């Protein structure tokens, strides 16, 4: 869901010499726990709830010589939410909030990228969550890239954005204003295909 977001960081310019990097397609490496979709939201203004979505898949295309043509797509299994508290997770996933039985998948599809400096930029794209699609902008950073010990090539990115839950028809009106928005954080390491 989100975080598809996210990640899109993919459109960011490379920190490696251009001669070492080529335009390529990548599969996000979630199997090795090298990719994360996490969130942080205030708990009544007294603490925070931290959580993640543990089941997702995606890919990205990254061209360090033409970052504007880079793209990312992510599909998230909403029911894979984990906030380290089973009863709370059950409540978040019911019809009061995410309604995972009605809207089991969240998606992100990038639509553009604007470089803001070396290895940094703003990724825009369509995030669909709870049956609602909105354009979001994520700040992304290229973490690094290069050969791995198994003969492959990897690139990694991180991204952050804030989501207003009412924009996705998630009713938080009975909670303090500080709980109306959450921070989304994504890290994607991709394996070049």
Structure confidence at residue 69 (pLDDT)? 85
User: Length of the chain, please?
Assistant: 193
Distance CA(175)–CA(42), nearest Å, equals 10
pLDDT at site 22: 53
Q: pTM score, two decimals?
A: 0.85
Question: Domain extents for the chain?
Answer: 3-192
Q: May I ask the CATH class of domain 3-192?
A: mainly beta
How far apart, in whole angstroms, are the C-alpha atoms of residue 18 and residue 30?
27
21 near 142, Cβ under 8 Å?
Answer: no
DSSP helix/strand/coil, 46: coil
38-54 tens-digit pLDDT: 999 999 999 999 999 99
Higher pLDDT, 11 or 104: 104
């Amino acid at each position: 869901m989100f975080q598809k977001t996210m990640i899109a960081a993919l459109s960011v310019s490379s920190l490696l010499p251009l001669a070492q990097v080529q335009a390529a397609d990548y599969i996000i490496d979630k199997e090795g726990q090298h990719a994360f979709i996490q969130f942080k939201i205030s708990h009544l203004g007294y603490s925070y709830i931290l959580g993640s979505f543990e089941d997702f898949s995606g890919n990205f295309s990254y061209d360090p010589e033409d970052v504007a043509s880079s793209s990312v797509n992510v599909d998230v299994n909403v029911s894979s939410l984990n906030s380290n508290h089973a009863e709370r997770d059950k409540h978040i996933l019911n019809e009061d909030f995410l309604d995972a039985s009605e809207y089991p998948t969240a998606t992100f599809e990038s639509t553009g990228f604007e470089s803001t400096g070396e290895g940094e930029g703003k990724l825009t794209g369509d995030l669909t969550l709870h049956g609602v699609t909105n354009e979001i902008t994520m700040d992304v950073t290229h973490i690094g890239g290069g050969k791995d010990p198994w003969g492959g090539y990897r690139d990694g990115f991180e991204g952050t954005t804030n989501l207003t839950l009412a924009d996705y028809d998630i009713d938080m009106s009975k909670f303090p204003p500080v709980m109306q928005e959450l921070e989304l954080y994504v890290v994607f390491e991709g394996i070049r295909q």
